Chains A and B, each alone.
Chain A
Amino acid sequence: MEEQLQGLKTEALEKIASAANVKELNDVRVAYLGKKGPITDLLKGMGKLPAEERPKMGALVNVVREDVTASLEERMVILEEAAINEKLQSETIDITLPGRPVKTGNPHPLTRVVEEIEDLFISMGYEIAEGPEVEKDYYNFEALNLPKGHPARDMQDSFYITEDILLRTHTSPVQARTMEAKGGEPIKIICPGKVYRRDNDDATHSHQFTQIEGLVIGEDIRMSDLKGTLSVFAKKMFGEDREIRLRPSFFPFTEPSVEMDISCFKCGGTGCNVCKKTGWIEILGAGMVHPNVLEMAGYDSKRLTGFAFGMGPERIAMLKYGVEDIRHFYTNDVRFLSQFQRTEV
């Protein structure tokens, strides 16, 4: 019987070693250790043994059983790992295939420029003011020191709807309206919006375009405050090492009036095609609010002074992004629009 037992063990161990996979190994387990297996049979047959041999044989059977079980388990670990490895192997994917696209849109480049300017000035304590695009002649011109027949009205040929109503030619009427509404109180606003002028659409002209203007009114507001404010703006929009210069100009609603150039961000001032070899790029118009404009809106121009500035987001976007034709902003070619996705921060 002992021999029989050893024979069984050897046989079982061989089968365990040769089991190729988990299933075969489980079959071996059932075959040798199962309720109907030979080892169980041996145990059942112990009753026929003399009583004094029973404990020895019992112990022997248990040893064999433990050895077989241990071997089985050891083999099981190996086979399971192999099985997992095989599964993993079969599950390998081509990681160079494209990911599932996440659909993303983005703002129009003009919105991008306008919001960047808005946010900069908001951080300096400005509010955003808006107003109608169809305006009264009074707010568009008269309240801005441009009475009927003023020669400067030629500078901005307008679309009239009636004799007194027109499409605003600049966002300045928002300033006039805000001043009137604030009733003599200090003001710090930015006014973005669409404006309209009688121009034939071509690469550099558009009958509809956008403007963004700023207005500050308070006690003792000086021209140096304008210069400082514009300098902060230029550095933020066009780079820390930008310098600005002011040149005298004329706008009916400011006195003195200036134009602001920034040192060319492409060549740094040595001259290139962006700055037309001058080293400077014209960015905006500005000035100290004309006393007539203040008085007309009910401000005491002896006590309160202010500055205003205005610029064209189209021009800024064209400069910043190198866009060569203003019409791109209004044709909405997705191959153009979708380029303004990436952050520049």
Chain B
Amino acid sequence: MLVSLKWLKDYVNLQELPAQELAEKITRSGIEVDAVIDRSFGMTNVVVGYVEACEKHPEADKLSICQVNVGEETTQIICGAPNIAAGQKVIVARPGAKLPGGIKIKKAKLRGQESNGMICSLQELGIEGKLVPKAYAEGIYVLPEEAEIGTDVVTNFDLDDTVLELGLTPNRADAMSMLGVAYEVGAILDEEVLLPEITYSEAAEKADSLLTVRVDDPEVNPLYVAKVVRNIKVQESPMWLQQRLMAAGVRPHNNVVDVTNYILMEYGQPLHAFDYDLLGTGNITVRHAKEGEKITTLDDAERTLSAHNLVITNGEKPVALAGVMGGANSEVSGSTTTVVIESAYFDSGSIRQTSKDHGLRSDASSRYEKGVDPNRVIPAAERAAALLAELADGEVLAGSVVFDALDRAEKVVSVSPDFINQRLGMKIRFEDMLDILNRLKFKTEAANGQLVISVPTRRQDIQIEEDVVEEIARLYGYDEIPATLPEMETKPGGLTPYQEKRRVVRSLLEGAGLLQATTYSLTSEKSAQQFALTETETTKLLMPMSEERSTLRQSLLPHLLESVSYNTARRSDSVALYETGSVFLKTEDELLNEEEHLAIAMTGLWLDNSWQGERKEADFFVLKGIVESLSEKLGVELAFERGQMDGLHPGRTAFIMNDGKRIGILGQLHPTEQKVRDLKTTIVMELNLAELLHKNSEPLVYTPVPRYPSISRDIALVLSKIVEAGTVVNVIRNAGGKLLKDVRVFDLYEGDKMEAGKKSVAFSLTYFDPEKTLTDEEVTAVHEKVLRALMEVGAELRS
């Protein structure tokens, strides 16, 4: 909402406050002022001129040489506007003038001809092109004949004005009108509000002799008022009206349309003007549209209607989309002589739906959607009649044609001062509360210690006691509220075990050298299922903004890999990222199964200590080590099984298992996948973190520090390459029994000293008995057993 302060002064005394100060007061008491705009933009030396003569420039087709009387003198100005003509009153920027945007006007020569200033368009005065009346949009603005030659344009045409741009919250529909803002400012400054005076003389003939009104559904249209004005002269509005509309962000058209728009801005009540003759029937019927019925609205769009759209008809066909936009077939034009002014109350939900159906929002619909003041429908119609009589020489027919079933009673809210103070934690005096309510022009009675408030219908947002609390608080001043802390039973706060373990995981991963990443949950349908641990259908948005963000992810890896590529493309060759976040899986249930996952992706060097010759590429085992430390930290056993997944290297992929259940995947990207993503060797991991974190941790109980020494023996085996170390470890463990405390792989050799298809793996076995010192014989006995077991499965000792 744009509020011209010059206009606002018609209704309320602004106490000569500087605009910035007023803006600050309005913001602090409830309506945020987003901007304070000086409409003069510091303009100087811009005056009314009279074009005495105008001829074509001999050397330039598009330029005219004008002799312009600017009061002090008649001077030559070259003008390039197509609509310049002798006999016009125009806006002249004199040499030395400053225009918006820092433009300075100087004497100049244009193609050999002297030019002492510039004849201006409205755009050059800082008015947005879309607000300039169509007739002048492509050229200079022509002032009315009465404009006095040589006078200052800024003061004469109300450009010495400041506009406040209000950022309105949806509850303050009342402030979508100048009167509403006047009431707000009046409450803040403790000033009275002066309503517009409405006087006009009526013709003898009655409006209802020319027009009838029928409303089919009083639920959605409880009040319809029509006035008939005839013998009007459709013409340009006077400057003051045009300027006010432009200040409010509305483009002037002609006096009839401008009057309806002016009252829309003034009262917040949408009006519509029909050309009576084009209506054709003298009947107005408000009804629901027929399914498939069509109307062409004023924006020249043909719209197909459905039954919940409300239309105004001439008894036969629609002439307006009720509360949203008029129809082209009954539009007021230059030849209109009789108009019907409609002022109505429509149900906000109905208008909202229609506006949404047709993607059509207008100044009218945006007000109806939020609810207009039922008590302004009739005054607005009267005000329109008065202005049309004044500005269009119209003859207002007697009375109105009315359908009225609207409850216009004020809502009564009772609230006790104690309640208000208790809610705020304050001690505001009763008189001060009364004073605030009076300033708001809320009729208030004090009865049995209660404040009984009749809320004016313009303030539909005041419904309950709490709403009154807010009114009192905001006008009393939030700065006055003391700072206290809640007095309630003190309980220790904290994280749930799940949340705490999530932090443990994070700090472990960060300690291990990974950076935490955050990526988007929405992805393309194509990549939604890639690397998913569980196969489910995709979940798509009804109306995505793009295909890229149309589907919920089922794995964190696609976006995490995008982040890795993003970095390597920027020459960060070594990247190690992790992310925790939800993946979204379809279920039988209405809601999705949101599983919290952990994903890791790494590429490049994991360790780079180059001057000491230590360099370690990120590989499968680096990431496996991290997963293993995670398993140890959480006390959850994880096992690795050879696995396969699309996009991963078939020989370098493992499923991560817990309790026999597959809960994750670890592997190197498939070379093809790496190529597609423009990556070098990249290792990835994703697991169902929720599954891990939901496991209850065992209590930690100390195991006594060994009192007896342990004994270790090494075994070097020659194995077929396809035999996995894990299998051998299991054989050793089974054979070693309870004295075998630990088995470790400490060497792997696959070089050319080995027979083809063979490898050498060395294991270190640790034997230990918590009860006593093991003798050599005891160890040898077990160790022999282990060796026999190994031989049985075909391993041979390396000599």
A: which residues have CB within 8 A of B? 97-98, 100-101, 103-108, 110-111, 115, 118, 121-128, 130, 132-136, 149, 151-152, 154-155, 159-162, 164-165, 167, 186, 188, 194, 196, 198, 200, 207-208, 216, 218-225, 227-229, 231-232, 245-250, 255-258, 288, 290-291, 305, 329-335, 337-338
Contact = CB atoms under 8 A, between A and B. Distances in A.
A9 to B, nearest CB: 55
B490 interface: yes
A288 B468 CA distance: 13
A161 to B, nearest CB: 6
A6 B607 CA distance: 69
Nearest to A134: B592
B515 A227 contact: no
Contacts of A256: 466, 469-470, 473-474
A223 B428 CA distance: 14
Contacts of A194: 521, 581-582
B478 A246 contact: yes
Contact of A105 (B173, B516, B592): B516
B730 interface: no
Interface of B: 27-30, 32, 169-173, 348-349, 352-353, 369-370, 422-426, 464, 466-467, 469-470, 473-474, 478-479, 481-496, 499, 503, 506, 509-522, 539-545, 549, 552, 563, 566-567, 570, 572, 575-578, 581-582, 584, 590-592, 594, 606-609, 611-612, 614
A99 B517 CA distance: 27
B18 to A, nearest CB: 16
A97 B591 contact: no
A224 B28 contact: no
A229 B486 CA distance: 8
16 contacts: A101-B607, A104-B510, A108-B516, A115-B503, A122-B495, A130-B499, A133-B521, A149-B352, A161-B542, A208-B521, A225-B486, A227-B484, A231-B483, A247-B27, A250-B169, A334-B575
Contacts of B519: 330, 332
A103 B582 contact: no
Contacts of B549: 207
Nearest to B348: A151
Contact of A111 (B353, B516, B591): B516
A105 B425 contact: no
Contact of B423 (A155, A222, A245, A257): A222
A220 B421 CA distance: 11
Nearest to A282: B32
B758 to A, nearest CB: 36
A303 to B, nearest CB: 12
Given A208-B522, A248-B470, A291-B464, A223 B424 contact: yes
Given A100-B614, A105-B512, A228-B484, A160 B541 contact: yes
Given A105-B512, A134-B552, A222-B422, A290 B466 contact: yes
A105 B520 CA distance: 21
Contact of B470 (A101, A245, A255): A255
A333 B566 contact: yes
A100 B614 CA distance: 9
Given A111-B516, A207-B549, A165 B483 contact: no
Contacts of B492: 125
B572 A335 contact: yes
Nearest 10 interchain pairs by C-beta: A224-B425, A103-B513, A222-B425, A256-B470, A250-B169, A332-B563, A228-B483, A246-B478, A248-B30, A105-B510
Contacts of A108: 515-518
Contact of B466 (A104, A162, A218, A291): A291
Contact of B489 (A135, A186, A257): A186
Nearest to B24: A278
A216 B486 contact: yes
Contacts of B592: 132, 134
A224 B611 contact: no
Contacts of B32: 247, 249
A111 B506 contact: yes
Contact of A332 (B469, B478, B499, B567): B567
Contacts of A132: 591-592, 594
A223 B510 CA distance: 41
Contact of B511 (A105, A218, A229, A330): A105
Given A245-B479, A248-B28, A288-B469, 4 more contacts: A151-B370, A159-B543, A224-B482, A231-B483
Contacts of B171: 152, 250
B485 A125 contact: no
**What is the interface of chain A mostly: helix, strand, loop, or mixed?**
mixed
Given A125-B491, A224-B426, A337-B517, A250 B170 contact: yes
A105 B518 contact: no
Contact of A333 (B28, B485, B543, B570): B570
Contacts of B495: 118, 122, 127-128
B516 A106 contact: yes
A188 B478 contact: no
B560 to A, nearest CB: 8
Contact of A198 (B488, B496, B545): B545
A219 B514 contact: no
A154 B170 contact: yes
Contacts of A188: 486, 488, 491, 493
Given A198-B545, A330-B520, A331-B566, A133 B512 contact: no
A277 to B, nearest CB: 11
A158 to B, nearest CB: 10
B17 to A, nearest CB: 18
Contact of B484 (A98, A101, A110, A222): A222
Given A107-B510, A151-B170, A247-B27, A224 B481 contact: yes
A335 B575 CA distance: 10
Contact of A155 (B170, B478, B516, B572): B170
Contacts of A165: 590-591
Contacts of B576: 105
Contacts of A258: 478
A285 to B, nearest CB: 11
A101 B608 CA distance: 8
A107 B170 CA distance: 38
A105 B612 CA distance: 22
Given A224-B424, A332-B517, A248 B29 contact: yes
A121 B494 CA distance: 9
A167 to B, nearest CB: 8
A156 to B, nearest CB: 11
Given A125-B492, A258-B478, A221 B486 contact: yes
Contacts of A330: 518-520
A127 B494 contact: yes
B521 to A, nearest CB: 6
A165 B607 CA distance: 46
Contact of B518 (A97, A332, A335): A332
A342 B185 CA distance: 50
A159 B542 CA distance: 7
A188 B592 CA distance: 27
Given A121-B493, A161-B542, A232-B485, A334 B425 contact: no
Contacts of B348: 151
A98 B611 contact: yes
Nearest to B370: A151
A160 B493 contact: no
B721 to A, nearest CB: 32
A256 to B, nearest CB: 3
Which of B424, B483, B496 has the most chain A CB within a 10 Å cutoff?
B483
B486 A133 contact: no
Nearest to B564: A332
A110 B27 CA distance: 31
A328 to B, nearest CB: 11
Contact of A106 (B483, B515, B591): B515
A219 B767 CA distance: 65
Nearest to B498: A130
A134 B594 contact: yes
B522 to A, nearest CB: 7
